[in-house]
Amino acid sequence: MANFDPRKKPITMYDFPQIYERLGMALGDFGCIMLDVEPLPVLDILEKSKDWFYFSTNPKLKYVKGPVGSTEAHCTLLYGLTPDKNAGVKQRDSVDELLYGLDLSEVQIDHVDSFPPQFNEPYSCVVAKLKTNSALGEANRRLRFLPHIDSFLEYRPHVTLAYVNQADTEETIKKLNDELEGLKIPAKGINYGGPIA
């Protein structure tokens, strides 16, 4: 059985790894479609005088590598595309067709917040939660026509700014929110990332 208390945190696909094991799928095998955006000045805002950042050595957390928003900023449009080694160019063509006509030229930060860690490591994932505009929400809805498994109960568009030491979470959020709240970020284009892109 899953080891979670639904009263304490949202239910996600990560609470049920045994289901995917039975189906012959690993959680890391799912594909995602992202909107790459311009990097954000995380390092400049936090300054380099303090060791804020957390870098995981756990192979399952290879993406937990400090100030990621300074170099590879993106907003996930849909995660959970089911593995299909034969998708290739057809997958890209389908994504382009589904997103045709949407203005995904920029996103806007609503506020800075954090998500809890995975595997009980002592970090926080600090994110810029985005304003829920019609284009982001519509992109997510349209991409759901592709074969996928929902990883969360609701779509919460965000840009990951940094993985920081858990003890520094509140101060990090305040510093980044003071500078980034309301900021419009230009988009660079669709990223078909993930193993099936």
> What are the pLDDT tens digits along the chain (197 aa)?
455 555 556 677 777 878 878 877 776 667 889 999 999 999 999 987 678 899 999 888 888 999 999 998 999 999 878 766 656 567 888 999 999 999 999 999 999 999 888 778 999 999 999 998 779 999 999 999 988 877 777 888 999 999 999 999 999 999 999 999 999 999 999 998 754 43
Residue 169 belongs to what domain range? 26-191
Number of domains in the chain: 1
181 belongs to a structural domain: yes
**8 Å CB contact between 106 and 186:** yes
Is the residue at 84 inside a domain? yes
Which value, in Å, is the radius of gyration of the alpha carbons in the chain?
Answer: 17
On whether residue 10 sits in a domain, the answer given is no
Q: Report whether 111 contacts 182 (CB < 8 A).
A: no
pLDDT value of position 193 = 77
According to the model, what pLDDT value does residue 8 have? 58
Evaluate whether residue 39 is within a structural domain.
yes
- Looking at residue 195, its pLDDT comes to 46
**Would you give the DSSP letter of residue 12?**
B
Structure tokens, 120: 């009980």
- 6 domain residue, yes or no: no
Is 40 among the domain residues? yes
Q: What is the DSSP letter of 55?
A: B
In a domain, residue 19? The reply is no
pLDDT of residue 137: 93
CA distances from 34 to 3, 87, 94, 168, 189 (A): 30, 17, 14, 28, 9
Residue 191's closest CA among 35, 4, 66? 35
Domain contains 185: yes
Instruction: Name 73's Cβ contacts closer than 8 Å, sequence gap at least 6.
Output: 36, 37, 38, 39, 40, 159, 160, 185
What CATH number does residue 81 fall under? Answer: 3.90.1140.10
Distance CA 129, CA 131 (A): 7
